[in-house]
Amino acid sequence: MKKQYFYLLIISLITLSPLSVFADGGMIIWPPDVHLDQTAQNAIVAWNGQKEIIILSNDIQSSESATALRIVPLPSNPSDIKEGSFESFEKLVEIINLKIEDIRNQWIFGGKDEENAPTAGIEITFQEKIGAHDVTVVKVNNLDYFLEWIESFATNKGLKVKAISSEFKEGIKNYLKRNIRYFVFDVIDTAEGEESINPLIYSFNSDSLYYPILISGVSEIEESRAEIRVFLITKDSPRERTVNPYWRGYYGYPVELSKEELEEISEEFAELFGSEATVTIFDYHGLLKEINKDLVFYPENIWTRNFQMGDIGEDVETLQEILINEGFWDSELEASTLFGETTRRNLIAFQDYHILEETGYFDTKTQEYIGEGFTLSLKEETPSDFQFKENLSLGVQHNDVIQLKTILDAEVDHEAWQGTEYFGAKTLAAVKAFQEKYRNEISEFAGYQIGCTGFVGKGTRAMLNKILGW
What local confidence, expressed as pLDDT, does residue 19 receive?
37
d(CA 36, CA 29): 8
Mean pLDDT in residue range 2-22: 34
Both ends of the chain: CA-CA distance in Å? 46
Question: Residue type at 1?
Answer: M
Greater pLDDT, 319 or 69: 319
d(CA 194, CA 64): 10
d(CA 265, CA 263): 5
Task: Write down the domain spans for the chain.
Answer: 2-294, 300-376, 400-467
Q: Return the minimum-mean-pLDDT range out of 66-70, 104-108, 136-140, 352-356.
A: 104-108
pLDDT tens-digit map of 142-173:
899 888 888 888 888 777 767 788 888 999 99
Q: Which of 34-48, 137-151, 417-431 holds the top average pLDDT?
A: 137-151
pLDDT tens-digit map of 296-309:
888 887 887 889 99
What local confidence, expressed as pLDDT, does residue 103 receive?
52
CATH superfamily of 300-376: PGBD-like superfamily/PGBD (1.10.101.10)
- Per-residue DSSP letter, 290: G
DSSP string, 107-175: IIII--------SSSEEEEEEEEETTEEEEEEEES-HHHHHHHHHHHHHHTT----PPPHHHHHHHHHH
Mean pLDDT in residue range 183-207: 76
Mean pLDDT in residue range 23-49: 57
Greater pLDDT, 291 or 347: 347
Tell me if residue 271 falls in helix, strand or coil. Answer: helix
Strand-strand pairing, 251-257 and 277-287: antiparallel
Question: Residue type at 342?
Answer: T
Tell me if residue 235 falls in helix, strand or coil. Answer: coil
108-119 burial: b if 16+ Cβ within 10 Å, else e: eeeeeeeeeeee
Tell me if residue 258 falls in helix, strand or coil. Answer: coil
pLDDT tens-digit map of 329-383:
999 999 999 999 999 999 999 999 989 999 999 998 898 888 877 888 775 544 4
d(CA 317, CA 187): 33
d(CA 295, CA 243): 10
